[in-house]
Structure formats: C-alpha cells, structure tokens
C-alpha cells in the first residue's frame, strides 16, 4: 500500500476473513474462526467448481427463460419505464453472515 499516498493510518487491504470490531472501534484483524467457517473462498480456489443441487439448476433455468422472454419482448417495442433497471447484489466482504446480525 506504500504506492498509494495519503491513505488514513488505519487503512488495510481487503482480504478474506477480515473482522472489524465496531463496539468499541478497533483495527481490522484476520479472524481464524472465520477462516474455518468460510465455505466460499476454498470453493473458488479449487480447479473444478462444485456441482449445483438440482433445485438450484432448475431455478437458474427458469430465471434464464424469464430473462429471454423479457428480452424478446423488449426487442420489438418501445422501452417501458423500469426496463433499464438492474439489480446488483452487493457482498459484505464475508462468506459468512455478520456476527452482530446472527448473534454469534
């Protein structure tokens, strides 16, 4: 981080298993417990991706069908209000849920 100038003194790299106590505010630490519970990062580091359950595959297929029908409908008509809206889910920088939200 020495290449980037004028960063706050408490600044740190974003990486898996970061944990920040906010009550009271503390420095970012790497929590080994989070590493043990982390199912996402080890799965992404493997050579082959895990197989999806049949119900998940079915839901993806249905969603793709809905999108294809919607796009076909849009291609020959004037766009409606909201056609350009895109939902982008944002992560929490953690593969497991918040300790505060779940009371762990």
Domain parsing of the chain, residue ranges: 11-68
Question: What is the DSSP code string of 14-42?
Answer: --TTEE--BTTB---EE-HHHHHH--HHH
Question: What is the DSSP code string of 57-90?
Answer: HHHHHHHHHHHHHHHHHHHTSPPPTTTT----PP
Q: For the chain, first and last CA: distance in Å?
A: 32
Residue 60 and residue 50 in contact, taking contact as beta carbons nearer than 8 Å: no
Per-residue pLDDT tens listing for the chain (104 residues): 567 777 777 777 777 788 888 788 788 888 888 878 887 777 767 777 678 889 998 998 999 999 888 888 776 666 666 667 777 666 665 555 555 555 54
What pLDDT score was predicted for residue 33? 85
What's the whole-model pTM score? Answer: 0.33
């Amino acid at each position: 981080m020495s290449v980037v100038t004028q960063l706050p003194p408490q600044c740190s790299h974003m990486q898996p298993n970061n944990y920040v106590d906010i009550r009271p505010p503390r420095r970012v630490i790497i929590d080994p417990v989070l590493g043990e519970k982390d199912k996402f990062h080890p799965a992404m580091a493997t050579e082959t991706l895990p197989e999806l359950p049949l119900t998940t595959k079915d839901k993806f297929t249905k969603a793709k069908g809905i999108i294809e029908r919607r796009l076909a409908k849009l291609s020959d008509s004037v766009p409606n209000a909201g056609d350009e809206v895109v939902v982008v889910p944002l992560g929490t920088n953690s593969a497991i849920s918040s300790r505060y939200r779940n009371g762990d």
